[in-house]
């Protein structure tokens, strides 16, 4: 059963959230702006190692009590020896039987380091303590674009209902301002920010603050909270509009050949200009 529109949903399993039909995710918007093929074929894309590590990090940070239910640690030792090979074979069989994900001892310890670094930040800790149970919260609403309405959804890593804050966690190689500035552009995080702020406003009628929590994946394990300014958010709204316009145009195209051509980057030959905004359309 699809979740009700304009609703905050707690304790919804991620699998149920991600498979709810008829809702646009913020990641869909970025895929559409890349190309409609990226959007149409998204289910065929396999998770990258970075995505797997990020999922593990979210569990350690936002669903700490579920670690033992989701993960099984691979026995450490020399993998060339028969004893360790046998242990890992049995561990793999156990993981499959129990529906768990296997991680290495190093990854397990790394997850604890991420959590320890995050909880050592006094501002972050105070926010988490203000709304202790509001982690991995789903939301569904109607996004209005011109005269069109779209089913929209989001998954908030932390929903600070009492303090008016949404936090999304990112696990990066480096969390410096210079590096994260590039990541905001590269990965379209400003689109996510605009999407989530629209959603929470539509559902609650309130203006929230949206923060990115950047956790470094390796030494020195720095943790940094970031907020992006209104210019970024306005750009996010603009790019959301472009994606939805593209989706509307594609859906209204009836000519099969023209429809297929619209799945790629550009119809025909695209001239790259040495000066200009190549690839920004």
What pLDDT, on a 0 to 100 scale, did the predictor assign at position 3?
56
In a 3-state reduction of DSSP, which class is residue 281? coil
Where is pLDDT greater, at 92 or 168? 168
What pLDDT, on a 0 to 100 scale, did the predictor assign at position 123?
95
What pLDDT, on a 0 to 100 scale, did the predictor assign at position 4?
64
Q: Looking at the predicted structure, is the pLDDT value of residue 14 above 60?
A: yes
Residues 222 and 117: beta-carbon distance below 8 Å: yes
Measuring CA to CA, which residue among 168, 171, 141 is closest to residue 157? 168
Q: Give the whole-angstrom CA distance, residue 49 versus residue 217.
A: 13
Tell the burial category of 214 from Cβ atoms under 10 Å away from its Cβ (0-12, 13-18, 19+).
Answer: buried
Q: Looking at the predicted structure, is the pLDDT value of residue 176 above 80?
A: yes
Q: Looking at the predicted structure, is the pLDDT value of residue 12 above 80?
A: yes
What pLDDT, on a 0 to 100 scale, did the predictor assign at position 133?
80
For the stretch 222-237, pLDDT in tens is: 999 999 999 999 999 9
Does 121 map to a domain? yes
Does 273 map to a domain? no
Q: Give the whole-angstrom CA distance, residue 201 versus residue 233.
A: 14
Does 261 map to a domain? no
What pLDDT, on a 0 to 100 scale, did the predictor assign at position 42?
84
What pLDDT, on a 0 to 100 scale, did the predictor assign at position 118?
96
Residues 188 and 30: beta-carbon distance below 8 Å: yes
Residues 184 and 227: beta-carbon distance below 8 Å: no
Q: Band of the pLDDT at 1, cuts 50, 70, 90?
A: very low
Does 57 map to a domain? yes
Residue located via tokens 């970031």: 226
Mean pLDDT of 109-136: 93
What pLDDT, on a 0 to 100 scale, did the predictor assign at position 52?
85
Question: Domains in the chain: how many in total?
Answer: 1
For the stretch 195-214, pLDDT in tens is: 999 999 999 999 999 999 99
Q: Looking at the predicted structure, is the pLDDT value of residue 182 above 70?
A: yes
Residues 213 and 169: beta-carbon distance below 8 Å: yes
Q: Band of the pLDDT at 192, cuts 50, 70, 90?
A: very high
Structural domain of 177: 7-253
Q: What angle do CA 114, 116, 120 make, to 5 degrees?
A: 120
What pLDDT, on a 0 to 100 scale, did the predictor assign at position 281?
47
User: To the nearest whole percent, how much of the chain has pLDDT over 70?
Assistant: 95
Q: Looking at the predicted structure, is the pLDDT value of residue 47 above 80?
A: no
Question: 113-116 long-range CB contacts below 8 Å, 24 or more apart?
Answer: 113/221, 114/57, 114/60, 114/61, 114/171, 114/215, 114/217, 114/221, 115/60, 115/61, 115/64
What pLDDT, on a 0 to 100 scale, did the predictor assign at position 90?
84
Q: Looking at the predicted structure, is the pLDDT value of residue 266 above 70?
A: yes
Q: Looking at the predicted structure, is the pLDDT value of residue 244 above 90?
A: yes
What pLDDT, on a 0 to 100 scale, did the predictor assign at position 43?
75
Where is pLDDT greater, at 93 or 1? 93
Does 270 map to a domain? no
pTM of the model: 0.89
Mean residue pLDDT of the chain comes to 91
Does 172 map to a domain? yes
Residue located via tokens 């990066």: 172
CATH of the domain at 194: 3.90.320.10
């Amino acid at each position: 059963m699809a979740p009700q529109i304009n609703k905050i949903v707690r304790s919804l399993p991620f699998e149920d959230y991600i498979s709810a039909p008829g809702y646009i995710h913020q990641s869909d918007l970025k895929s559409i702006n890349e190309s409609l093929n990226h959007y149409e074929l998204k289910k065929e894309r396999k998770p990258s190692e970075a995505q797997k590590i990020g999922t593990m990090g979210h569990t350690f940070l936002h669903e700490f009590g579920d670690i033992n239910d989701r993960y099984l640690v691979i026995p450490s030792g020399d993998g060339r020896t028969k004893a360790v090979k046998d242990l890992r074979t049995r561990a793999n069989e156990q993981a499959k039987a129990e529906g768990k994900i296997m991680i290495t001892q190093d990854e397990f310890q790394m997850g604890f380091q991420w959590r320890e670094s995050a909880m050592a930040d006094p501002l972050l800790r105070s926010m988490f303590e203000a709304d202790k149970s509001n982690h991995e919260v789903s939301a569904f609403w109607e996004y209005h674009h011109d005269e069109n309405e779209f089913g929209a959804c989001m998954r908030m890593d932390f929903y600070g209902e009492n303090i008016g804050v949404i936090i999304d966690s990112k696990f990066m190689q480096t969390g410096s301002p210079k590096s994260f500035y590039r990541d905001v552009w590269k990965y379209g995080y400003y689109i996510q920010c605009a999407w989530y702020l629209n959603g929470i406003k539509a559902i609650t009628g309130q203006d929230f603050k949206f923060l990115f929590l950047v956790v470094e994946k390796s030494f020195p394990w720095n943790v940094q909270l970031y907020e992006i300014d209104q210019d970024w958010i306005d750009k996010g709204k603009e790019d959301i509009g472009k994606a939805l316009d593209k989706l509307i145009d594609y859906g209204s195209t009836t000519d099969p050949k023209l429809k297929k051509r619209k799945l790629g980057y550009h119809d025909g030959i695209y001239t790259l200009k040495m000066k200009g905004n190549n690839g920004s359309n």
